[in-house]
Amino acid sequence: MQQVVDQVAGQVVEQITDWFAGAARDLPWRAPDRTPWGVLVSEVMLQQTPVVRVEPVWREWTARWPSPADLAAAPTADVLRAWGRLGYPRRALRLADCARAIVERHEGVVPDDEDALRALPGVGEYTAAAVRAFAFGRRSVVVDTNVRRVQARAITGVALPAPSYTAAERLLAASLVPADDDGAARWAAASMELGALVCTARVPRCGACPVRAECAWRLAGFPPDAHADRRRTQSWEGTDRQVRGRVMAALRGADGPVPRALLADAGPQPQLDRCLAGLVEDGLAETDEAGRFLLPA
């Protein structure tokens, strides 16, 4: 039985990789002249942010700071302004910290070793594996939300993976990665692309899927999501994230310190006070002697 499962899995990997050869999006961080730094920047920017929003910011960012040393020397206020409306601006601070660590520990060169990558500020398991695969073409186990979804449907026959990454998923992901560097890097990109473009969460385009004949979920009759009641959903309207985003937009657009009174429209007073305190604590804003708010220097 296991031999049959392994054979199907191998077939799925091969077919998805073949599909990717003709379906891959033309993205700048995939270009032949990409740099490891450019790939690392893209991976940080793409966390919880769609490609269409990331691409223009990535182009501007890498033109302005083409190397870790360039970003390491940049003022924090400039970094936060350049991050713009990508959201989760702490990623910009972590990326700047990462650039400084690369300069200090690796002479300004992005390392290709996964442990060295994971030791950098803001670089976790996924980002380290992705940089190793996409920047250096080396074998690694790259698993994001899209890859988890493809594995869940095509191999295990469930609608969506569990809310938390499981040990069984980890073992499956490792078993699917081809043994050679080139094949592993192609599989990482291909499985991610299929999840992003075809095997989407809400309305998968099964008719366009290269493994529809082998897909365990389709063969099982498309069973519903077994974890639907465990998934948390949160509206954007009225959240602290929305209020923080409004404050950050005001600070980015200001020529100087902003009095608190001019931030009153960002949200109700208790919530605004909480969000302002949080932004200062996170290093995303600071106050001057008059109690006005501004981006860090």
DSSP letter assigned to residue 297: -
Predicted confidence band of residue 238 (pLDDT cuts 50, 70, 90): confident
**What is the structure's pLDDT at 1?**
37
The residue type found at 286 is E
226 contact partners, CB below 8 Å, separation of at least 6: 158, 159
* Percent of all residues in the chain with a pLDDT value above 90, rounded to a whole number: 91
C-beta of residue 40 within 8 angstroms of C-beta of residue 58: no
Residue of 115, 85, 5, 98 lying closest to 43 (CA atoms): 98
Residues belonging to the active site: 43
**What is the structure's pLDDT at 4?**
38
**What is the structure's pLDDT at 278?**
97
**What is the structure's pLDDT at 8?**
64
- DSSP-derived 3-state class of residue 178: coil
**What is the structure's pLDDT at 128?**
98
What number is the average pLDDT over the span 261-277?
Answer: 95
Q: Could you tell me the end-to-end alpha-carbon distance of the chain, in angstroms, rounded to an integer?
A: 62
Per-residue pLDDT reduced to its tens digit, 49-61: 999 999 999 999 9
Per-residue pLDDT reduced to its tens digit, 68-119: 999 999 999 999 999 999 999 999 999 999 999 999 999 999 999 999 999 9
Instruction: Report the sign of the C-alpha dihedral through residues 127, 54, 165, 220, in that order.
Output: negative
Per-residue pLDDT reduced to its tens digit, 117-169: 999 999 999 999 999 999 999 999 999 999 999 999 999 999 999 999 999 99
**What is the structure's pLDDT at 234?**
65
Per-residue pLDDT reduced to its tens digit, 24-46: 999 999 999 999 999 999 999 99
**What is the structure's pLDDT at 3?**
47
State the helix-helix crossing angle for 76-83 and 240-253, rounded to 10 degrees: 120
Cα separation, 43 vs 150, in Å, equals 20
Instruction: Report the sign of the C-alpha dihedral through residues 233, 237, 240, 246, in that order.
Output: positive
